Amino acid sequence: MFIGHFGLGLASKKADPFPSLAVMFIAVQFLDLLWPVFCLLGIERFEIDKGNTALTPINFSYYPYSHSLLMAVIWGIVFGFIYYLFTKRKSSAIFLAILVLSHWVLDLLVHRPDLPLTPFNNYTVGFGLWNAPVIEMILELGLFIGGSILYYTSVKPKRKISYWLLIVFFILIHLANVFGPPPPSVNAVAWAGNLMWIFIVWAWWIERKKN
């Protein structure tokens, strides 16, 4: 899942307006922000395996430190605690910790059984909706579009053009991932994963106060 995570981040501003959209984006994608770094460092690994699932050729062969259930809980606690240190907002910190964990829950729906429960055993889970493309696309696009509309109607961003350009860009990237050619190499995927910070900076710009 890709834009579905961001859709939840957008919708979350309705539930808690205090964290910025950029912080919401970091929370819902925190595990995927760690994953490419861990892969480039050789801590985790994956392979490009065309036909691995109907919607993605990436075989997530070893990623227990970024994507196991236990580590998702730990990363959520760490993220929430850091936010609390800077803001002293306990409820928002707890909410952000839950958003970090939500990444694992949404991935559970779409991944084949490759999501580890802990780094200490080989038991993996996944409901495999990536092998049911129509259902997965409806779910993910529905979550993203619903979150986009909910954010727009509740926050009413001042930089409306920038906001809708971001939404369109998300959808185009998602469609390219689904219908485009497989990635050229493992390194290309890992480095491209770090480009998600563009969306976070973009979200910061949308909410930045005008002079």
| Amino acid identity at 160 | K
Asked if 206 and 198 count as a contact pair (C-beta separation under 8 A), the reply is no
* Closest C-alpha to 8, from 159, 132, 109: 109
| One pLDDT digit (tens) per residue for the chain, 211 residues | 899 999 999 999 999 999 999 999 999 999 999 999 999 999 999 999 988 899 999 999 999 999 999 999 999 999 999 999 999 999 999 999 999 999 999 999 999 999 999 999 999 999 999 999 999 999 999 999 999 999 999 999 989 999 999 999 999 999 998 888 888 899 999 999 999 999 999 999 999 876 6
Tell me which long-range contacts 152-156 makes (C-beta under 8 A, separation of at least 24). Answer: 154/13, 154/14, 154/17, 155/13, 155/17, 155/21, 155/207
The pLDDT value given to residue 141 = 95
Count CB neighbours of 209 within 10 A: 5
Distance between CA atoms of residues 93 and 80, nearest Å = 4
Q: How many CA atoms lie within 13 A of 76 on its CB side?
A: 21
The pLDDT value given to residue 85 = 97
How far, in Å, are 90, 113, 183 from residue 176 at the CA level? Answer: 39, 24, 11
Decide: helix, strand or coil at residue 68: coil
Decide: helix, strand or coil at residue 169: helix
Count CB neighbours of 172 within 10 A: 10
The pLDDT value given to residue 211 = 60
Asked if 58 and 189 count as a contact pair (C-beta separation under 8 A), the reply is yes
Residue with tokens 């369109």: 168
* 76 bridge partner residues: none
